[in-house]
């Protein structure tokens, strides 16, 4: 398997086992699905009463149609019973039958026909761990540090490898047109939700292609909101049919999952497309059917804000924030095109959540169907744009300029006040002259200058107070 780059992850769509740390409301089931830049726990509610009653089929003898049809693939109808003994794993013929019926079910729900077969391979977890790697650049390290989510005491690579090594359940690799399922059991087993989710990604690739152009983190989260939202929405509807009228195989137990430890903020940051994406797709489908969802691939959301607040799609757009280079001669911007990135409302929410500025159970207060967690918060909902530009000095020091734009001066003032508060209360920052704070110890031990000017807030970070003006002169 190829080496993956931590921030891009557009080339790999991953499903993870459940990770602890986010508590689902009582009576709801929790599963986790992630794209390498996105860990998540989706919460879906199902009510099961009595024995599911099958609906009459238009093909009572399950005979093969003369031509390909929605709901039939490779000799299997979507509602056709299978003689499969999954207790000892799946042999080759059983796996073929399971994949064919799942493909038929996915296209039946989604209303799109598979144009090509989708190979499915199964590997054990040790094989996956040995072959899959995560890489990150100095730019990535600076961005995650600026979000106060991964400090200088560890690396982005180590953080994400911890998630993936323990929790990856499956992936679809567009460049290889295949699905890889990771089995925690000695015998190869396939979780029906994992397979359905990844088959949607294959269906998307066959009909809409995969956009591999370089984009900001916020744009990437927005596109993942559509892509993962589509897959998650179909997965939810698939599971509802299993609970209602489709014969379905029992789900195998998942692996132990990754321990969140101090990485709850990272988990929240990468999970957002899986949380809000299905609700976003549901909103599109209610407005214009599957045709509206299909059309969105040609005009995808451009900011996580549009996925968090689907009523803002497609007419709302983020403000383009610019940061003039005011660094001294011994400081320079890290080599990156474009110079800097936009992290967006979802990432700022994760920063606040990880640093104690969002009360713990806010995430569980959802308000829409198919939405797992609540990423809308009074401090971040007024976000209109941002930019992070990392810097490095000639002697190896690092710093950054982080500017955010807000809808009103009140929104900007609220964010500035909250940001200063979390630096003091969670990171132990000490107040210095004017608008400067210094974190004396720990993974974020640096100097911070936090200024509020109208509808913008600018954070300048440097190793020392004296270096702040060298990174970005006033």
398-445 per-position pLDDT tens digit? 999 999 999 999 999 999 999 999 999 999 999 999 999 999 999 999
pLDDT given at position 64: 93
At residue 370 the predicted structure's pLDDT band, cuts being 50, 70 and 90, is very high
Give the whole-angstrom CA distance, residue 99 versus residue 434: 63
pLDDT digits (tens, 9 = 90+) for 201-242: 999 999 999 776 778 999 999 999 999 999 999 999 999 999
Question: Is the pLDDT at 176 greater than 60, yes or no?
Answer: yes
Mean pLDDT of all residues in 27-48: 30
Strand, helix or coil at 117? coil
Mean pLDDT of the 377-383 span: 98
Helix (H) or strand (E) holding 437: strand 436-438
Least confident of 25-29, 168-172, 256-260, 395-399: 25-29
Do residues 432 and 465 lie in contact, with contact meaning Cβ atoms separated by under 8 Å? yes
| Number of H-type helices and E-type strands within the chain | 11, 18
**Helices 264-296, 344-354: crossing angle, 10 deg rounding:** 160
What residues contact residue 298 under an 8 Å CB cut-off, 6+ apart? none
Q: Report the share of the chain in percent with pLDDT over 70.
A: 85
SS3 of residue 456 by DSSP:
strand
Beta strand 178-183 with 398-406 is unpaired
Rounded to an integer, what distance in angstroms lies between the CA atom of residue 135 and that of residue 264? Answer: 21
Mean pLDDT of the chain: 86
DSSP 341: B
Q: Tokens 């099961």 correspond to what residue?
A: 48
Average pLDDT score over residue span 335-351: 95
Q: Tell me how far apart the alpha carbons of residues 141 and 157 are, in angstroms, rounded to a whole number.
A: 9
Give CA separation, 81 vs 113, 140, 188, 245, in Å: 21, 48, 21, 12
Higher pLDDT, 169 or 327: 327
Residue 25 has pLDDT above 50, yes or no: no
Side-chain half-sphere of 378: how many Cα atoms within 13 Å? 9
Higher pLDDT, 4 or 151: 151
- Cβ atoms within 10 Å of 37's Cβ, excluding its own: 23
Residue 184 has pLDDT above 60, yes or no: yes
As a whole number of angstroms, the distance between CA 331 and CA 400 comes to 11
| CB contact set of 388 (below 8 Å; sequence gap of 6+) | 142, 143, 146, 340, 341, 342, 343, 400, 401, 402
160: pLDDT confidence band, cut at 50, 70 and 90?
A: confident
Residues 312, 371: contact at Cβ < 8 Å? Answer: no
In the structure, what pLDDT confidence band is assigned to residue 320 with cuts at 50, 70 and 90? very high
Name the residue ranges covered by the structural domains of the chain: 3-312, 331-471
Contact 242, 193 (CB under 8 A): no
Residues 38/228, Cβ–Cβ less than 8 Å: yes
- Calculate Rg over the CA atoms of the chain: 23
Q: Which residue has the tokens 């890489």?
A: 135
Q: Are residues 40 and 270 in contact, defined by beta-carbon separation less than 8 angstroms? A: yes
pLDDT confidence tier of residue 256, bands split at 50, 70 and 90: low
Give the residue-averaged pLDDT of 297-318: 97
pLDDT tens per residue, range 46-86: 222 333 344 456 787 899 998 999 999 999 999 999 988 76
Name the least confident of 22-26, 166-170, 273-277, 348-352: 22-26
Q: Positive or negative, the Cα torsion across 63, 66, 70, 74?
A: positive
Lowest mean pLDDT among 127-131, 297-301, 343-347: 127-131
Whether the ω angle into residue 30 lies within 30 degrees of 0, i.e. cis, is no
Q: Determine the pLDDT at residue 42.
A: 31
Task: Report the predicted TM-score, pTM, of the whole model to 2 decimal places.
Answer: 0.88
Please say if the pLDDT value at position 126 is more than 60: yes
Work out the burial of residue 55: count CB atoms within 10 Å of its CB; fewer than 13 is exposed, 13-18 middle, 19 or more buried. Answer: exposed
Distance (Å, whole) CA 3 – CA 275? 27
Tracing tokens 């995560």 back to the chain, one arrives at: 134
d(CA 108, CA 112): 7
Q: Where do we find the tokens 């591999």?
A: 212
Q: Which long-range contacts (CB under 8 A, 24 or more apart) does 18-25 make?
A: 18/167, 18/254, 18/257, 19/163, 19/167, 19/257, 19/258, 19/259, 19/260, 19/267, 20/257, 20/259, 20/260, 21/260, 21/264, 21/267, 22/264, 22/267, 22/268, 22/363, 22/373, 23/364, 24/364, 25/364
């Amino acid at each position: 398997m190829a080496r993956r780059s931590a921030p891009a992850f557009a080339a790999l769509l991953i499903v993870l086992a459940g990770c602890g740390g986010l508590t689902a409301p009582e009576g709801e089931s929790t599963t986790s699905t992630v794209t390498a830049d996105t860990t998540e726990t989706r919460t879906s509610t199902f009510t099961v009463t009595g024995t599911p009653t099958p609906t009459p089929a238009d093909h009572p003898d399950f005979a093969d149609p003369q031509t390909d049809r929605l709901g039939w693939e490779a000799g299997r109808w979507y509602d056709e019973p299978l003689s499969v003994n999954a207790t000892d794993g799946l042999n080759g013929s059983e796996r073929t039958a399971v994949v064919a019926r799942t493909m038929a079910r996915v296209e039946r729900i989604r209303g799109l026909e598979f144009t090509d077969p989708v190979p499915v391979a199964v590997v054990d977890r040790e094989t996956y761990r040995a072959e899959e790697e995560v890489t990150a650049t100095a730019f990535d390290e600076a961005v995650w540090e600026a979000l106060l989510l991964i400090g200088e005491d560890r690396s982005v690579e180590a953080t994400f490898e911890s998630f993936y090594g323990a929790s990856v359940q499956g992936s679809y690799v567009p460049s290889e047109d295949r699905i890889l399922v990771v089995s925690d059991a000695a015998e190869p087993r396939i979780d029906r939700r994992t397979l359905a989710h990844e088959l949607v990604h294959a269906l998307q690739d066959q009909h809409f292609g995969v956009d591999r152009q370089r984009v900001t983190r916020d744009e990437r989260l927005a596109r993942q909101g559509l892509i993962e939202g589509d897959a998650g929405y179909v997965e939810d509807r698939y599971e509802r049919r299993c609970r209602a009228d489709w014969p379905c195989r029992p789900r195998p137990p998942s692996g132990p999952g990754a321990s969140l430890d101090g990485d709850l903020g990272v988990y929240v940051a990468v999970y957002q497309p899986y949380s809000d994406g299905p609700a976003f797709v549901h909103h599109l489908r209610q407005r214009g059917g599957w045709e509206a969802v299909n059309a969105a691939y040609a005009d995808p959301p451009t900011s996580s804000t549009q996925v968090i607040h689907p009523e803002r799609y497609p007419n709302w757009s983020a403000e383009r924030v610019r940061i003039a280079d005011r660094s001294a001669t011994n400081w320079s911007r890290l080599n990156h095109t474009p110079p800097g990135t936009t992290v967006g409302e979802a990432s700022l929410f994760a920063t606040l959540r990880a640093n104690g500025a969002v009360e713990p159970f806010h995430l569980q207060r959802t308000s829409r169907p198919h939405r797992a967690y609540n990423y809308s918060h009074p401090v971040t909902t007024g976000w209109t744009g941002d930019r992070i530009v990392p810097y490095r000095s000639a002697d190896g020091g690092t710093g950054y300029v982080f500017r955010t734009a807000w809808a009103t001066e009140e929104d900007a003032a609220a964010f500035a006040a909250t940001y200063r508060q979390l630096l003091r209360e969670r990171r132990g920052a000490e107040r210095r002259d004017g608008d400067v704070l210094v974190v004396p110890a720990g993974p974020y031990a640096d100097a911070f200058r936090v200024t509020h000017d109208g509808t913008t807030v600018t954070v300048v970070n440097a190793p020392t107070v004296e270096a702040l003006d060298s990174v970005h002169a006033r």
